[in-house]
Chain A
Amino acid sequence: MAGRKHRLLMAVSILVFLFIAVPLVMIAITAFGEASTIRFPIQGFTLGWFTAVFASRSFMSSLLVSFVLAAAATLLALAVGVPATYALSRSSSHGKKLLSAFFLSPLFIPEIVVGYALFKFLVISMRLPIFAALVVGHFLVVLPYVIRVVGASLEQFDFSIEEVACSLGCNRPQAFAKVVLPNIGSGIIAAFMLSFINSFNNIPISMFLSGPGMSTLPKTLMSYIEYSYDPSVSAISVLLMAITVALMLIVEKTLGIASLAK
């Protein structure tokens, strides 16, 4: 009985795994095909689409935009989110629920609505430069992730540790830097990863806030696919997957992958 249950669980797990992995594997394989449209199975073998990606100015510049944008939005979200979460975790229960709901609200509003509202407000009314508007938009979208993840690690934090630090001679900022931060480090790194990936993948916000001469990679990819169906899109997908895997490996080596799920 137990054995049968075990086998069933195994079978379902394998199916789910295939469901997740097969499309990715297929895309990865199509990146090496010689034909000028995406085809599976592939005919011939070439690395030409990768060189094409690196040679394409629009891909490279939007990749750079996406990277810098994700980094800026994430750092900003951490700079705002970590102190905010800390303050939330130390405040009394009344305001706490309301405020944390407020901070998390961008998660519940459709991003297309947030994007449209930001477009009206930041671009039309305030005439913000494109990149600044993008940073603000992405910051809004990733802030909830920082609040959630850092909040979870602060919840497990024993604040009497901070009190002891104060009694030993730390003022509040010192105690935060010397005792609180080192003990929520894994939460902060996890928050960084989640925010970065979310910002990097974001389409709805970028759709509204990108402008002439500046586009994020997902948006460039989308418009590219609209007009041409060649394997350079697959090639860039492979590159992105490789980067993600590399990042995950670094996290796994330094913190353990479980810290992302905490």
Chain B
Amino acid sequence: MAYATLEDIRVSYDGKTNILEGLNLQIERGELVSLLGSSGCGKTTTLRVIAGFIEPNAGRFSLGGRDLTRTAVHKRNFGLVFQSYALFPHLSVYDNVAFGLRLRKLDAKAIESRVGSILDITDLAGLANRFPKQMSGGQRQRVALARALVIEPELLLLDEPLSNLDAKLRLGMRVEIKRLQKRLGITTVFVTHDQEECFSISDRVAIMNKGRIEQYDRPEVIYSSPVNEYVARFIGFTNFIDLTRIGPGRFRDSRGGEVLADLDRGAPSCVGAIRPDDIELSTASASGANEVPGVIEVRTFLGKSYQYELKTDLGTLVANVSRETPFEPGARVFACLPSSKIVVC
């Protein structure tokens, strides 16, 4: 059995609309699991159920075989880090970090050594006497992390911890979190709306939508083979074409052309999805399957490549192509959709 499990969790604030409906999630010991979704998908609610701030209307949350569904927050021993850092403004860094240990009635010496070592690990050793106001965003976030980690929590819960940091710092902190999490072996739940952040840090990702988990898998698997159109759209598949199945892995598009796809989940309603990066453009036709002619309508410079909006009989396609001499708007081209890159879902 998994270390932490959510079973059929249902949460409703008004008794009519469900924020979470029958949510199931298993987390293994030492794993870093992300809840990813747009705002309102229920990811934060899920985290708050785990933390104990919300008592679910139905369902069960257990950890290491113990049922914690109705256990009070302060008896759960979970570490918590918020987007706003939520440091105690009236306490120094040292006192912030020592807060949880003092509540556990540890003797002064033990507190000192544990706070000292966690401040070392989080690179805050010289800042113990500072107050939150005197620190940068990145430092505050490390204090928040240290404060959550020092109590040796059975579960570490991170609610959009990086969203208040600037882009460069965010990258560094994300590596930092991953390093700490692995080093200390703490089972972690990470809530975010940032796909890149989530994929880079997680062992497994749960993509959430409308109070349900759409797909729960390793980031690599989700990236290459989303289970449905919602997930595909969410993780950057921008091009969708309607298909009719004519055989296993063989389809016909709406204008009669043949489309081959390696990844066919056998779904009855067929939509082929492909990323802009995976579409190839050329001026000459290869006259085979997986090809559609079109006219370039809009060209946008992206830096390492150009993005083209292409008007075709299958609708508008978006393709990112880097090429020595870029296509001009109005040019007639052929778009090739490689069968290895099309996901039918």
Binding site for B on A (CB under 8 A): 158, 160-161, 163-171, 174-175, 178-179, 182-183
Contacts and interface: CB of A to CB of B under 8 A. Distances in A.
B76 interface: yes
B248 to A, nearest CB: 51
Contact of A182 (B74, B90, B99, B100): B90
B305 interface: no
A165 B98 CA distance: 12
Q: Is the interface of A mostly helix, strand, loop or mixed?
A: helix
Contacts of B148: 164, 167
Given A160-B84, A161-B86, A163-B53, A168 B72 contact: no
Contact of A170 (B74, B80, B147): B74
A167 B99 contact: no
Contacts of A164: 80, 82, 86, 88, 144, 147-148
A166 B84 contact: no
B259 to A, nearest CB: 50
Contacts of B80: 163-164, 167-168
Contact of A158 (B73, B84, B103): B84
Contacts of B90: 182-183
Contacts of A167: 51, 73-74, 76, 78-80, 148, 157
B51 A169 contact: no
B79 A165 contact: no
Contacts of B53: 163
B41 interface: no
B151 A158 contact: no
28 contacts: A158-B86, A160-B84, A161-B86, A161-B87, A163-B53, A164-B80, A164-B88, A164-B144, A164-B147, A165-B88, A166-B73, A166-B74, A167-B51, A167-B73, A167-B74, A168-B74, A168-B80, A168-B103, A168-B151, A169-B74, A169-B77, A169-B100, A170-B74, A174-B103, A178-B99, A179-B88, A183-B89, A183-B90
B104 interface: yes
B316 to A, nearest CB: 43
Contacts of A161: 86-89
A158 B99 CA distance: 18
A160 B86 contact: yes
A168 B86 contact: no
Given A160-B84, A163-B53, A163-B80, A170 B89 contact: no
Interface string B280-292: 0000000000000
A160 B90 CA distance: 15
Nearest to B89: A183
Given A161-B86, A164-B86, A167-B73, 5 more contacts: A163-B73, A165-B88, A168-B147, A169-B74, A171-B72
A69 B195 CA distance: 62
Contact of B74 (A158, A171, A183): A171
Contacts of A182: 90
A78 B151 CA distance: 35
Interface in B74-131: 74, 76-80, 82, 84, 86-90, 99-100, 103-104
B51 A170 contact: no
B77 to A, nearest CB: 8
A173 B68 CA distance: 22
Contacts of A163: 51, 53, 73, 80, 82, 86
A182 B88 CA distance: 10
B88 A169 contact: no
A169 B154 CA distance: 13
Given A182-B90, A183-B90, A169 B104 contact: yes
Contact of A169 (B84, B89, B103, B144): B103
Contacts of A160: 82, 84, 86
Nearest to A179: B88
Contacts of A179: 88
Nearest to B79: A167
A153 B264 CA distance: 58
B245 to A, nearest CB: 50
A169 B103 CA distance: 6
Query: Considering the complex of A and B, which 10 residue pairs feature the smallest CB-CB distances, nearest first?
Result: A168-B100, A169-B103, A167-B80, A160-B86, A166-B73, A182-B90, A160-B82, A161-B86, A164-B86, A166-B74
A28 B88 CA distance: 47
Contacts of A171: 72, 74
A158 B77 CA distance: 22
Contacts of B103: 168-170, 174
A165 B89 CA distance: 12
A219 to B, nearest CB: 42
A182 B99 CA distance: 14
A45 B51 CA distance: 73
Nearest to A168: B100
Nearest to A181: B90
B47 to A, nearest CB: 11
B84 A168 contact: no
A42 B317 CA distance: 94
Nearest to B13: A92
A165 B80 CA distance: 9
B318 to A, nearest CB: 39
Nearest to A164: B86
A179 B74 CA distance: 14
Nearest to A162: B86
A161 B76 CA distance: 17
B99 A165 contact: yes
